[in-house]
Every structure is written in C-alpha cells, then in structure tokens.
Structure 1
Amino acid sequence: MRLSNTVLASLGAPRASQAPILPHYARHLLSPGIVHLGLGAFHRAHAAMYTDHAIAAGDLRWGIVGVSLRQADTRDALAPQDNLYTVVVRDAEGERLHVVGALIASLVAPENPQAVLAVMADPRCHVVSLTVTEKGYCHDPATRALNLAHPDIAHDLAQPDTPRSAIGFIVRALALRLQAGLPPFTVLSCDNLPSNGLTTRGLVLAFATAVDPALAHWIDVYGAFPNAMVDRIVPKTTDADRASVALCLGAEDAWPVMTEPFSQWVIEDRFAGPRPRWEDAGAAIVAEVEPYEKAKLRMLNGTHSSLAYLGALMAYATVDAAIADARLAEFIAAMMAEEIEPTLSRPGLAAYRATLLARYRNPALKHQLQQIATDGSQKLPQRLLGTIRDRLLAGAPCERLCFAVAAWCRYLAGKDEAGLAYAIADPLAGVLQVAVTSSPDPMDQVAALLAVREVFGDDLPADPRFVATLTRHLRNIGQHGVAAAMAAVATSQQERMQ
C-alpha cells in the first residue's frame, strides 16, 4: 500500500511504537501561498514542518509548491503519493513519525519553467523560500558578488522566460508581478550563507539591474529579504530507512526524511506581505538574526565541516562514529571553546557547545561524513575562513581552524589514510584537485590552492601567518597522519597557555 490521501485514515499500524501524526486538515482547500525553490530533504524536515503546524492550526493559505531546479527524482517519488511524505524523528530512544501534508505540488523547473513562473506570479503566493545550497546562488563565495559569467546566470539574462537559476526565477517572477500590478513576494533564504537575506537581496538586485534598472528600484523599495538562521541535522535517506518507515507506518513512502529532535528557525521580522504563524511551532521571529546565524555557521557548520574532513581522512563514515573518537571530540570541543566562541556574541555559548556535541553523538542519525564534505569550496568561506579572518585581525591564534582547512586540502587528494578512494563532489573539483596533485610539496599545494580566489579572496593569501600555519599543518598531516598531527596541535596549544 502506497502512502496517499486515500490511505491516510488507515495509517498507524500496531507495529508502530507511537501513532504517527497525520494531516487532518482539508488538503484540497490549501492555497499555494509558498513556493519553495530547492525541494530537498532539509526543507521537508524543517520549514515544511513549521508550515504544516500553521496549516493544522486552521490557516489554509500556506500550501507549499515545491520546485526542483535540477532533477526529477523528488517529484517522481512524491507525485504518486499526492505529495505526502513522512518525517521520522530519531534518537537513541526510538522514532516518531509525522506525515506532512503542507506540500501540494512538486514541479521540475527544467521540464516546465513557465509553470514555475506562473505559481510564483500567482497573487496567492506571498513567500518564495530557498534551500538551493551555497553553490545555487551563482555567486563568488569570497566576495558574495553575483557571478555574471556563471553559465546559468548568462543564460537567464539572455533568455529570461526560461530561467535555470534560482536568482533568474526570482527576478523574472518579480518582473511579472510588477507588470500585473501585484506586490512582490517575500524572498526567504534558508541556506547557510552569512546574512543570507542581505546576500540574496544583493544578488537579486544585481541581476535585476542588468535586466532593467526600474525593476531593480521597485524590488529595492518594496521587496523583502529577511535574514534567517536554520538548524536541523538531516541525513540522506537510505533504502533501510524506507523499509523501516513502511513497517511502522503501514504504507510505503518512497521519499521519507530522517532527522533529529532538535530544530531551530530564527527569522528576521521583515516581510513584504502576510506570512504563516511559524512562531506557534517554535520559530523565533526577531529583530536581529545575526548573532544566532553567526554562531550557528561557525560553531555547528564550521565544526561539522571540520569533523567531516578530519573524520573522513581517518576512515570514519558517520558523524557519531567520528565524534566517538576521543581525539576528534577533544579537538572539536577545544576549537569551539578557544577559537570560535571568542568571535561570537550570542548568549549561552557554553550550553550551545554542549548541545552541539550531544547532537553529534546521536547514534540513530548515521549522518554520512561524505555528505557533509561536499561543496567545500562553497562552504569554507563562511564556515571557517570568516572565523580565521577575525582571529587574525585580533592577533589571536587560529591553529585548530587552520588545521581543519589543511584537512580539507588533504581531503582533496581523494584518498583516506587507509588508501580508500572517494569522489570529490565540488563545483571547483577539477581546479582544486589539480592544485593538490600538481606537486608533492605542501608549500606548492598551498600556493596553488590559495590562488583560487573564489574561495580564499585576496586577503588570506597575502597574510604570512595564515599561509605559514596552513602549510605547516598540511605538511604534518602528510608526514605523520591526522591523529598524530592533531595531537601535536593540542600539545603546542597547552604549552602556549602554560
């Protein structure tokens, strides 16, 4: 039996330890109030859950039209299920199932871009949200400027009615709304970018200016791009997960989502029109997101990436397996306390650190390190390099942060310390791998990598402290291995503090 509207009433077989939470509202009456670009697992486990709660409270204006910008796999899995899917919350105590009904349609942009533009230009649409990953913004991560030479951006400027990029879709849809005399929708980024609302606004305005300065002015005056911070760990779904969901739910779900109990969403109170009452489901609507966003990007995302590269090199497969290694756990905890926290202003950082380490130890998630390790060239600028810049500016040590960057450099070689090969998933993979394989000398490798200005900008390659520290760590990792080199860092830091 396949999950669908017709089988909802029969779900929750006795095999489930707890009855699943089901959508009891009238799904056929939902309006397309939200269009979401980037219909991946994270959105379905995070923002869609908050929206589902708002709908269940009686506000039927907030049905979600999900848009896949590249592949059809999500649509192909969800359409036969009436776009229903299951969120499974897992921890050491077991599983809780929630069937989400907020998603009312799933579109594939390359198949029919006009259909996507139509729902974005629909007067009932008030929010366009995004989870397209860092690389989906077609920008230079180091400068946050729109890359006008990006193939998708160049295409969208030349052929605006058949856009490919998220930025192209947003600007064209806003142009259609202006032509129709409609107000703009709110653009709500849910990606891990510094000041993600301001960043998205800058990219949209740069694109719109290239199209029509009058359009850019209208967006500038009337548009809204609230900053937001999102936090929830969502591993990749496996066939074993699907089998487990079918057993507990009493129906097959081709595209369930696994996640942890923790969930956080902090949103700047800046909207162009109405919005769901996400705060009733636990979201925080605040005047200033930056302290929360910065702490999350640096403490969670920064240490997640660090753990991914260090753990993958040491032949660990998952986050919980890596953090169970006392050497890695001590390294990550010290990085947070001694090098990251001094750059932050959010209250309760010690408690936040303890919460993060506990989340990493969750044995039920099996979050794959290789999944976290993808797209490092897009992630490192905001996750690690910004913190390094602040430490260098303060004249403070950043040994562990630079060690994590060195681990990424070593990871780009494509083999762990046991000799097992893996693929490098990164939009700059070709350039990066040439940089680390063109010479066996770590000094040459560092020089070649620092020449990739999209990642490191102009300032870090010119800072002798950063260059020397990164080179030293990369050499030590190559000569002695991650564990021994990491132990040397800890010893040198202890001696410095005595």
Structure 2
Amino acid sequence: MSERTQPPLLARASVAEALPATAPPVRIVHLGLGAFSRSHQAWYTAHADDASEWGIAAYAGRSRDLADRLTAQDGLYTLIERGPEYDRFEVIGSVVRAHAGDDLESLLRDLAAPDTAVVTLTITETGYVSTPDGSPDLDHFGMARDLEVLRALGSDAAVEPTARPVTALGRLVLGLELRRRAGGPALALVSCDNLPDNGGRLRRGIEGLAAAAFPALPDWLADHVSFVSTSVDRITPRVEARDVAEVAAATGRLDEAPVIAEPFSDWVLSGEFPSGRPAWETAGATFVADLEPYEFRKLWMLNGAHSLLACAGLLRGHVSVAEAIADPECRSAVERLWDEDARNLPAGLGLDHYRDALLERFSNARIEHRLEQIAIDSLAKLRVRVAPVAERELGAGRTAEGCATVIAAWMAAIESGFCRADAAEREIADALASPNPREGLLGLLSAKLAADPVFAAKVECEFARIAAPAEVTAK
C-alpha cells in the first residue's frame, strides 16, 4: 500500500466517511479511463466489502488531461449522484493511479505485475478494431501496424521505446506476452463495453492478434487468461463547468475531475476470476451463468432507446434525453421499439418493471444526458442495439416497424448534419454520395436488412415521414 495525502476534495461529513490515508494496493488495471468507468467499475470497487485490498491503475485513451487532473488529486474524485430532487456527493478512492494513454512503459509493467489479477476495459465499440465476428481487423491501419510492431519484437527481444502499439488490443497483447515471459500468474480480462458477448469479442480479438504475433502466447492464454462478459448500466452524463463549481459550493473543496451519475446502477457478470476479484456482489453486482438475456435487455432497451432518442430528438430540436422522452412523438417511437425488443427476449426478466424504470430514469431532468454525446459513433451502436432486433422480427414474419423508425431517424439525422461524429465517417460519406444514400446507409448497417426490399421500403417510408416536417439544421 502507498501513502495517500489528503486531497482538496473531501466530501462533507454528512455524506461520506473520511477515506483512509493508505491507498489500496493495485490489483486491477483498467483501460479506458473516463467518466463511465469512474461512475461504474471504480464505484463498485470502492463499495465492495474488501475495497481496502483492491486498487486500480487506470489508463486513459488518447488524452492525458484527465489523467493529469486525477494524478494531482491522488486519484480521488467526487461522484455526484444526481437524483430527481437533490444531489449526493461522495469521494471515490479506488483509483490509486491515473496514467495517460501513451504511458506504455507503466501499462506494460502493470500488466506483467504478479499482483495484477483483473484487467477491465471500457474502450467503446470502436476501440476493439475488429471485424464483425470479433477477429482483429488487420486491414485497419492501426491494427496492421501493431502486428508489425509486435512481430518485430520477436519471442525474446526487448521492448524498444520506439516500438509502441497504438491500439488497445495491441498494447494488451504485448503486456500479456511480457507477463508470459515473466512467468506471471493467471488473470481475468473483463470487457465492460456495450457489445453483445463482449467477453467473447475480446477473446477473439486477443487470441487472433496473439496467434499472429507471438507463437508461444496462444497456449499460455488458454491456461492463464479468462475472459469475462458483463452487462453494465449507469447513465453518466458529461460534466460541465457548473458541476465543478457545485462540488466546491457543496463540499467546500475544489475537485477538478468530478463525475456525475444517476442513482441507478447495474452490473451483471459471467465468467471466472482465476486470481480472485473484489467482492463486487456486496456492492450490488450480480454473477450469472448465462449473461445473454441481461445483455440483450440492456443493449436493446436502454441503449437502443438512447440511440433512437438521440437521432429523433436532435431532429426535433431537443438537447437531452429528458427533453426527448417528454416529446410524445419520441415517447411513442420508444414504446414501439420496446414492444419489438420484448418479443425477442425470454420470460423471467421483469420487462414491465424494467420499462417503467427506464422511463423514470430517462425522465430525470436533472441528469442532462446530452443527445449529441449519445449520437457519437451511431453506426457501430445501431449495429448491435437495433439491427439484431430488426433481423429477428423479420425472421419471425413481422414488420419490424419500430426498428425501421430508429434506422430512418438515424438516416435523417445524418442527412441533416447530425450524427456525423463517427469512426465510420468515410464509409458514411461514401454512402451519402451514392445514387441512393438510404440504400447505402442501410447496407452499412446490415447486409441482411438491406437485402429485404420490403423492410428497405418501410425505412424509406419512415424516413419520408420523419424528415418531411422537420426543418432543423445542424447546430
């Protein structure tokens, strides 16, 4: 354990107890340091009964700004739990070290460290740089370059300062290879991204890149690495300058890296932890043998509705989820989507209660979950949140009208100048420049849906209905 100085952000006495001066030892490495990881995985770790035994070394993505701000505060930050009527302030102390994304030396050292037992990831859908089946996309420039870098290291070569993988999977594979060479113990890799079978997708990406880069690594992975799938849920909006001021006013201390979250949180996990894990169940996490039903419930109903509200809401001049769900047109579209989602989920998931809870959460006007934030990388999101439900509905002989509305709203938002912040920007631009832009966009989303002329016509019909009355331009 390391000594931790008192930071300039202690919560008021009526909220959280004073944190111990000694930080927990680092036993978790996290890739993708951001607001969500701090409101969710770090929060569960801080609330576990054995929190004093599990510290996190967290690595940012591209930016070093957040890591620098957290480092100045010894990793401590305020979580603002924003309910419909009031805020609750709590200091979270599970992040022991925060690193910039380019701090490769520290990352490799942490991944190879024998005390590291768990690696968690929130790198977003696009961060996996994979093909639709989860294999590493070796046609992608970054992944192809990483493979060259990894191969150049050889089975015994030292890591040169200039040999730097740029993708998350490339860096993780290199860290696992160094752990193998050091004779390190087994560990669990835990994907916490909004992807179906996210643990399986991570496995296919890691194993595929490892097999192509290091001949001895795949066999070691089979015996020493587990891949855990999870379903994560906690709305975490972007922090504004006024939120920093609110923390200072409420607690009397300055915090340059607070995070906001709704009171609700959920975490369902499935998989093995060969070297142990925090007692996350004592903080409310659930461990199950079959994750898929919970995963699809969340992806389709929460995330799918979010994507719908983002696209349709932006077109109708709304800014936040709360504004959009209060619009009868948007609310009706969400209900139709949920009807289709529910038909493709098994019994026993409490869907009526889940829908009611979602409406309550969406309607919390004090959680300013901005639509423009949700709309980022919409193509990748709709591929897993909406297209699978549409394919199932069509396969059952139904019209998938609710899904068609989401897809049409996405197309209208793109053509109106919204939803352009997308990793697939080039492909989207090519589709828009084609003789039939909607046909091109639908093909990017799902080849199966694009091949169904009845569904394609339904999308066109919904597009005309959605786009015709709206005279909204991009803001």
Report the TM-score when normalising by structure 1.
Answer: 0.87
CA RMSD of aligned residues (A): 2.0
Matching of residues 279-358 of structure 1 within 5 Å: 279-336=281-338, 338-345=339-346, 346-358=348-360
Counterpart selection for 2:249 from 247, 252, 260 = 247
Residue 5 of structure 1 aligns to a residue whose secondary structure is coil
Instruction: Supply the AA of the counterpart residue of 2:46.
Output: D
CA distance in 1, matches of 2:17, 2:420: 40
Residues 466 and 5 (structure 1), Cα distance of their counterparts in 2 relative to 1, 3 Å cut: farther
Q: Which amino acid aligns with 1:92?
A: P
Task: Report the Cα offset of residue 69 of structure 1.
Answer: 2.5
The residue type equivalent to 1:478 in the other structure is A
Matches within 5 A, 1:333-412: 333-336=335-338, 338-345=339-346, 346-412=348-414
Number of the residue aligned with 1:428 = 424
Confirm or deny: 8 A CA contact 2:82 2:366 kept in the other structure.
yes
Q: Does 1:20 align with 2:21?
A: no
Query: Does the C-alpha gap of structure 1 residues 75 and 21 become closer, same or farther in structure 2, counting only changes over 3 Å?
Result: same
CA offsets, 1:384-416, max 9 Å, x none? 00111111111112111111111111111244x
> Is 1:159 aligned to 2:133, yes or no?
no
User: Shift of residue 7 of structure 1?
Assistant: 4.7
2:440 is the counterpart of 1:448:
yes
Match of 1:70 in 2: 62
Task: Name the % identity.
Answer: 36
Q: Counterpart of 1:95? A: 87
Render the CA deviation track for 1:471-492: whole Å, top value 9, x for unaligned: 2222332334499xxxxxxxxx
Deviations for 1:138-193, whole angstroms, at most 9, x for unmatched residues? Answer: 013x4433211222212221223422211112211111111111123210000001
C-alpha contact 1:128 1:185 (8 A) present in aligned 2: yes
Q: Distance in 2 between matches of 1:35 and 1:255?
A: 20
Are 1:53 and 2:54 an aligned pair? no
Residue in 1 that maps onto 2:154: none
After TM superposition, give the deviation of residue 26 of structure 1 in Å.
Answer: 4.0
The equivalent residue for 2:111 is 120
1:170 matched residue in structure 2: 172
Deviations 1:357-394 (A, max 9, x none): 11000011111000001001211111000111111111
Q: Is the 8 A contact 1:31 1:61 kept in 2?
A: yes
* Partner Cα distance (2:463, 2:120) in 1: 39
Alpha-carbon contact 1:237-1:258 (below 8 Å) kept: yes
Question: Taking structure 1 as reference, are residues 460 and 155 closer, same or farther at Cα in structure 2, changes over 3 Å only?
Answer: same
Give the AA of the match of 2:425.
A
Which stretch of the first structure deviates more once superposed, 354-363 or 344-353? Answer: 344-353
User: For residues 204 and 7 of structure 1, do their structure 2 counterparts lie closer, same or farther at Cα, with a shift above 3 Å needed?
Assistant: closer
Q: Secondary structure at the match of 1:6?
A: coil
- Which stretch of the first structure deviates more once superposed, 243-252 or 230-239? 243-252
Contact 2:191/2:198 (CA < 8 Å) preserved in 1?
Answer: yes
1:35 aligns with 2:29: yes
Asked if the contact 1:19/1:97 (under 8 Å) is kept, the reply is no
1:425 maps to amino acid: A
Deviation at 1:109, TM superposition (A): 2.7
1:411 and 1:48, CA in 2 relative to 1: closer, same or farther beyond 3 A? same
Structure 1 stretch displaced more, 338-347 or 248-257: 338-347
Q: Distance in 2 between matches of 1:376 and 1:413?
A: 13
Report the Cα distance in structure 2 between the residues aligned to 1:222 and 1:465, rounded to whole angstroms: 49
8 Å contact from structure 2 (residues 399, 455) kept in 1: no
**Per-residue CA shift, 1:61-82, capped at 9, x if unaligned?**
3110010121111112111111
Matches within 5 A, 1:211-230: 211-230=213-232
Paired residue total? 456
2:454 paired with 1:465 = yes
2:258 matched residue in structure 1: 256
Post-superposition offset of 1:296:
0.4
CA distance in 1, matches of 2:51, 2:367: 32
**1:230–1:266 CA contact under 8 A, matched in 2:** yes
Give the match's secondary structure for 1:145. coil
Match of residue 144 from structure 1: 134
3-state SS of 1:60 partner: helix
> Quick check: 1:409–1:436 contact (8 Å CA) kept in 2?
no
Task: Please say which of residues 222-231 and 464-473 is displaced more in the overlay.
Answer: 464-473
Show the counterpart of 1:478. 467
Deviation at 1:22, TM superposition (A): 4.1
TM-score between the two structures when normalised by the length of structure 2: 0.92
Structure 1 residue 27: Cα displacement = 3.0
Aligned partners of 1:12, 1:393: CA distance in 2, in Å?
Answer: 54
Counterpart CA distance in 1 for 2:216 and 2:423 is 33
Structure 1: runs of 5 or more not aligned: 416-421, 484-498
Q: Which residue of 2 aligns with 1:5?
A: 5
Query: Closer, same or farther in 2 for the Cα pair 1:7/1:478, shift >3 Å?
Result: closer
**Cα distance in 1 for residues equivalent to 2:292 and 2:18:** 34
Cα deviation digits, residues 12-44 of structure 1 (max 9, x gap):
45xxxx72314533434x211000000010000
- Unaligned residue ranges in structure 2 (runs of 5+): 151-158
Q: Is the 8 A contact 1:177 1:184 kept in 2?
A: no
Q: How many angstroms does 1:231 deviate by?
A: 0.3
Q: Is the 8 A contact 2:68 2:99 kept in 1?
A: no
The partner residue of 2:76 within 80, 84, 90 is 84
* 2:50–2:279 CA contact under 8 A, matched in 1: no
Query: Paired residue for 1:492?
Result: none
Say whether the 8 Å CA contact 2:413–2:419 is kept in structure 1: no
Supply the distance in 1 between the matched residues of 2:341 and 2:11 (Cα, whole angstroms).
45
Equivalent position amino acid for 2:456 in 1:
V
Q: Secondary structure at the match of 1:104?
A: strand
Q: 2:155 aligns to what? A: none
What secondary structure, in the 3-state scheme, does the structure 2 residue paired with 1:459 have? helix
- Separation (CA, whole Å) in 2 of partners of 1:133 and 1:11: 31
Question: Using the alignment, how far apart are the partners of 1:58 and 1:355 within structure 2?
Answer: 30
Distance in 2 between residues matched to 1:98 and 1:330, nearest whole Å: 37
Kept in 2, the 8 Å contact 1:174–1:184? The answer is no
Q: Which shifted more, 94-103 or 146-155?
A: 146-155
Shifted more, 276-285 versus 167-176: the winner is 167-176
Give the drift of 1:60: 3.0
Superposed displacement of residue 236, structure 1: 0.3
Residues 229 and 12 (structure 1 numbering): CA distance in 2 closer, same or farther, change over 3 Å? closer
Give the Cα–Cα distance (whole angstroms) in 1 for the partners of residues 134 and 458 of structure 2. 26
Amino acid in structure 2 at the alignment position of 1:393? G
Q: In 1, are the aligned partners of 2:267 and 2:285 still within 8 Å (CA)?
A: yes
- Structure 2 SS opposite 1:227: strand
